[in-house]
Structure 1
């Protein structure tokens, strides 16, 4: 006969079995991590030997053994070589500076996360005696609790044993200030910063105060709208005492299109930070007078690849930021709509391989070439200087025309418009020659302006053979 006590006993037994199995698996995992650390430490020692054999004093050459080893191991491990360099050095520190911790890891008494905390918090202890005392104290605690708890305790122990003052260590640590980006999912990324605590907390406090000020202004707007609603006896609308408020005879006053800020404080803080970083100028600007507009004139640039079908709205997704992470379609459309120029990428419809890259507007180098070649507007009879003209596509870019010098030419604004609106057709021949067909059907040929070539006096005896004619160089595009 079944009883609740039997079920409780079975549950306890199965749970205990899961705990034993997990503990054994984690011990095996720790042992494997210890073996990996030993291999990496040995590889690091080998690069040190290679470096010591080098006669060069160049820092760049002396770091090549470590970089080469990291690259080899990283490719085999499918990770970034910079990350592998960090793993190599951390393994070297663990095996050589904290051997008891490595042994505890190998025996499965602590995890890889525990050793990471020990190495990170004890790295400032250069004296071997102090480091040994630190490891003995912290390791005993690490075998009884989680890595997060170990970190808090280890930092206190390291602080007590460190002969250097907090000021000395801060002066060194501040040299490692940096920012970085981690790409997340769904078109989001995280911006991280390491800097002096006072500055970082000050930034957070200022953003919080600004966010609260925005929330307070929103609450005031809501109260004002509610008061107007009560005074007018209707939904929020334009104030009743506003003589300029538009009304329709026999109908209620036109309601105001109100907008209230529904963002959370976290969302407001983030939006304010991004807005200030993208648009504001730093208070200290050493480039004033050197860079036009100073640092405030510099804008952030990103490269976004977006399928034409996504821009047209016929498909969703596919937009990528610098090949790193996805971009949502709405953001991609906004960026494309405001971009001063963009490249058109042609892909193989089956393999997706890039076949060609083209851009709508001529590059500065192409424009310089065209101004030098055309000299003036290419419409028959026009003398407008090419530098004052538009750079026009013979075959429309929107219809597949390429942006290269064999499909471009200078047309003044008047003739550019006339050519497109009045029905003139133009065929561009090699060398910049244009074949015009007027709406009447008459045809005209327009060559680039002729040039008079001034040649040096020929030096040589009569009867010398004439030098061979050089082939005309191709356009550099």
Structure 2
């Protein structure tokens, strides 16, 4: 029953993709951007309703259409419960390069017969072998096409951690991992040598009847330091250090950009409650409205920035009330970045500082350039709003009411804020003896 429901949802997505293609075919002499809008708008509305990213939904529409139209036998087996969604994904991904219908049909029949007998993980290796047998393209041709899809992405995890991923040519990627491994092992070798020297020195001092560092815990901590990191931890630290501080070996901007690419530093927006900086609370810091930042890192960052933007929040609702030094243009942006945090299209997480500043009521039609009529829209959703028939009305409190081309309405509120209150003062007679000073 689950497989049948999933398969039917895929067919619905395939029908939606086909409808968007039909709408696109009616456009005559349209620009590339205009021809993208039917599919973008279709994916956006389905995504808002499903509460997922519209980019994710657009990919699902494409993959569903490809599955239903090009791998019909696999879709039927999925609907009948003979294989799972994971099996179908493996079959489709491995056979995506087979453009000839007859060749693709022979490949699908051979792999599907095996998929009905085993797990999706085992099917992948077999499917790749079958593709190699049927694929008219050489390995070099396939690699030359695949390398165009290289990319880097970030996925936010829990507890102030994130994952950096990269897809690139195998030789370079394995070379990076190998270099980090060899550098990490070199650090471990030096550490082992330092430990051995310290042990030999302690042994010599002990034989001479002198006190050793190991006999004095405080002295050991102040004079001897060993690297307790694992190899994985060292590799990660090396990668982040080199990526944040080094210059690329090939710099096409040399002469055009002062200092070249090596002079460009990372730029992030960190929101930190004053109570966290003062040490009276231990939470609330966040990065670009996406993920949490641990308090110690927030304090280090705060100690190295040239200036601050104070954001005043409603103590009950957490809504942004005002931002210091608010003037006509730059300061309005400060306010809007603090209020919107990210692109205001439902489900989008693009940081506001990387977005366009969209007028809800078009400036050319008399719309005012003020915070009640302007907000953050990423370039993708800004273009779709203008070209695909979406309308937006801003209501009090920063709430946006969207009307899709279908006529259905959706709302988006500014990101909720959690107000962190200071801990109550200790009862008289229970004050700690060690006073912790504020970071400023």
Same fold (TM over 0.5): yes
2:322 aligned to 336, 349, 356, which one?
356
2:84 aligned to 94, 111, 118, which one?
111
- 8 Å CA contact 1:228, 1:236 repeated in 2: no
Instruction: Look up the match of 2:257.
Output: 291
Cα deviation, residue 342, structure 1: 2.2
Instruction: Look up the match of 2:157.
Output: 184
Output one character per residue of 1:296-334: Cα deviation in whole Å (capped at 9) or x when no partner: 111101111111111111111111110001111111111
Output the CA distance in 2 between the equivalents of 1:202 and 1:363: 51
Cα deviation, residue 365, structure 1: 7.5
Taking the TM superposition and a 5 Å limit, the aligned residue runs for 1:61-210 are 61-210=34-183
- 8 Å CA contact 1:110, 1:142 repeated in 2: yes
Instruction: Look up the match of 2:32.
Output: 59
Stretches of structure 1 that go unaligned for 5 or more consecutive residues are 1-27, 238-250, 367-477
Alpha-carbon distance change, 363 to 305 in structure 1, aligned in 2, over 3 angstroms = farther
Output the CA distance in 2 between the equivalents of 1:358 and 1:137: 67
Output the CA distance in 2 between the equivalents of 1:364 and 1:231: 70
Output one character per residue of 1:132-185: Cα deviation in whole Å (capped at 9) or x when no partner: 011101111111111111111111111111100111111111111110000011
1:235 aligned to 187, 212, 221, which one?
212
Cα deviation, residue 118, structure 1: 1.0
- 8 Å CA contact 1:303, 1:321 repeated in 2: yes
Q: Secondary structure at the match of 2:152?
A: strand
Q: Secondary structure at the match of 2:164?
A: strand
Output one character per residue of 1:9-39: Cα deviation in whole Å (capped at 9) or x when no partner: xxxxxxxxxxxxxxxxxxx111000100110
Stretches of structure 2 that go unaligned for 5 or more consecutive residues are 332-440
Taking the TM superposition and a 5 Å limit, the aligned residue runs for 1:66-465 are 66-233=39-206, 234-236=211-213, 257-358=223-324
- 8 Å CA contact 1:56, 1:62 repeated in 2: no
* Aligned residues between the structures: 324
Cα deviation, residue 56, structure 1: 2.4
TM-score normalised by structure 2 residue count: 0.71
Cα deviation, residue 65, structure 1: 0.6
Alpha-carbon distance change, 359 to 211 in structure 1, aligned in 2, over 3 angstroms = farther
- 8 Å CA contact 1:341, 1:359 repeated in 2: no
- 8 Å CA contact 1:343, 1:357 repeated in 2: yes
Instruction: Look up the match of 2:21.
Output: 48
Q: Secondary structure at the match of 1:338?
A: coil
Output the CA distance in 2 between the equivalents of 1:299 and 1:359: 26
CA RMSD of aligned residues (A): 2.1
Cα deviation, residue 279, structure 1: 0.3
Greater RCO structure (CA 8 Å; 6+ sep): 2
Cα deviation, residue 235, structure 1: 2.5
Cα deviation, residue 215, structure 1: 0.2
Q: Secondary structure at the match of 2:324?
A: strand
TM-score normalised by structure 1 residue count: 0.66
Cα deviation, residue 68, structure 1: 0.7
